[in-house]
Amino acid sequence: MSDITEFERRITAALERIGAGLGGLERVDPDRPNPAEVEGLREALESERTANAQLNERVKAIRERQETQVARLDQRAHEMTERAEKLEVELDRLRAVNARLRETSAALRAANAQGLGDPAAIDAAMAAELDALAALREGDRADLEAILAELKPLADGGASHA
């Protein structure tokens, strides 16, 4: 009988230890999330939101820079087109003046070959030559303006980097 009493005492002690251990544990509810896990997920979510906001800002800055560059390139293309058109007009004018100068020079040579000093032909030749020189000067001016237009951004950019 003493064995039964001893077993009883040991079983009671074990049950008390189990009860004390269970008393320290919270009741686990499988539907209730773990607070530490929830906090970790919240921190991860906030971190991802911050990273997403930073990426959105970078995309916005890149888009603005790209739009600025496209606008600048469009403006430059427009300016280059205007310069090319101006040069083409000057070239056409120079061709026309040179054609007139050739005709007048041929007429003047023919008059000199016949021994006729035609003052009107001489005046026409001089006027054609003056027009040719003026057209040449305008063509040179257009070339210089085109060159300066190309150098200006470089000079402005060099001054801002100095």
Q: Give one DSSP letter per residue of 144-159, joined into a string.
A: HHHHHHHHHHHHHHHH
Predicted structure pTM score = 0.46
Q: What is the pLDDT along the chain (162 residues), one digit of tens a residue?
A: 567 788 788 888 888 888 776 666 555 555 677 778 888 888 988 999 899 999 999 999 999 999 999 999 999 889 888 888 888 888 888 888 888 878 877 777 777 777 776 677 777 777 878 888 888 888 788 788 878 888 887 778 765 544
Alpha-carbon dihedral sign for residues 140, 144, 147, 149: negative
Quote the tokens at residue 138: 């305008």
Q: How many other CB atoms sit within 10 Å of the CB of residue 135?
A: 20
CA–CA dist 81, 148 (Å, integer) = 15
